[in-house]
Structure 1
Amino acid sequence: MTAAVFFGCAFIAFGPALALYVFTIATEPLRIIFLIAGAFFWLVSLLISSLVWFMARVIIDNKDGPTQKYLLIFGAFVSVYIQEMFRFAYYKLLKKASEGLKSINPGETAPSMRLLAYVSGLGFGIMSGVFSFVNTLSDSLGPGTVGIHGDSPQFFLYSDLHKFLLWNKPGVSIYNPGAHGHLGILSCGRQLPKPETLPTLPRQELSSLQPALQITSGNQHF
């Protein structure tokens, strides 16, 4: 039974991304390169976020409970901010590459920025999903059942289903404001973490973040 749960959760979590990759990206080598580059940028942002978190923990180690809670909130906001900065850096890199391609070969049609946003967002989403759900998938092999006490039994199921869509949507939305000079508004609206990115927070810490998470969750749907 645990093997069935494992493969079921794996296909739910990564099936949509696999289908998008097979039908829209695998046939174009250039898109594969952009997807891998997007995944690499997310890994670098994760590395820097981890270093910031490690240094913060070392600085305020052995503090009281409220300090630890604020440290957790600080880490979540810094992580989101760093990820968005790397997403914007990747956008600027692709824009420069597109402009360089046009200058070298004016007759060559450059890839659409919306297409690049979709491909790079999928790369971000795949790598984020792997790091977010690999522990959950390993726990689903047994002997217990994965879940959060007091929450809906479908919490992880819903998170799996729309994880990659939520990561593609910001990838597209940051390209449009970037092209029209409205990144300030976008950066302010993107600083709140998504609820499914914090599935392991204790109940008391989740309750303190609940208003912000509700606002963010409502703004993230199509």
Structure 2
Amino acid sequence: MSKKVLLTGFDPFGGESMNPSLEAVKQLNGRIAEGIFMVSYEIPTVFHESISVLTKVIQKEEPDIVICVGQAGGRAQLTPELVAINLNDARIPDNQNQQPVDEPIDVNGPAAYFSNLPVKSMVQECIAAGIPAAVSHSAGTFVCNHLFYGLMHYIHTEASHLRGGFIHIPYLPQQVLHKTAPSLGLDTITQGLLVAAVASANDTPERKIIGGSLH
């Protein structure tokens, strides 16, 4: 029996005309590969609404795995996130002009949640496939971390059978034509997400290896 993997990407934010996370997950919508079925959805880059939309999608699709994806301009690799922290501290406004500073995501929630996906193994599988990847120990404090925390809080409080996590990805080449920043092609990013999804759905054991940084 195949497993269902839900992938989400954000709409463009911060003055960008596109968001590579949305472009990449759309490439995988409806895809069947190595015993998994993938479905993708767009999530608004908005505090609180993003969590609400994700929760409704999870309840509708009833996936086995949830992988939320977001843009991290300046990073050169796919970076699966290890931990989400209970903090909103926005450097820029979200897409509804909200800019919380030093606020908890959930006043009753713990300080942090760890992904329950095999993060280091996902990275190693990507590298083995020739895709730049590294473990990240910081998802930031913007809507990406906000959604990641909301996902893990939902898993811990409402859906303990569910596995989930977050992957940050670099800019696409067309986004850096007028800025100095690394980028990866859409095909490379999409293939990396596919590799990560397969590793997660196939219950690849986590590897006890050194790795990870605060990007």
Q: What is the TM-score with the length of structure 2 in the denominator?
A: 0.30
* Structure of greater Rg: 1
Higher helix share: 1
Which one has the bigger strand percentage? 2
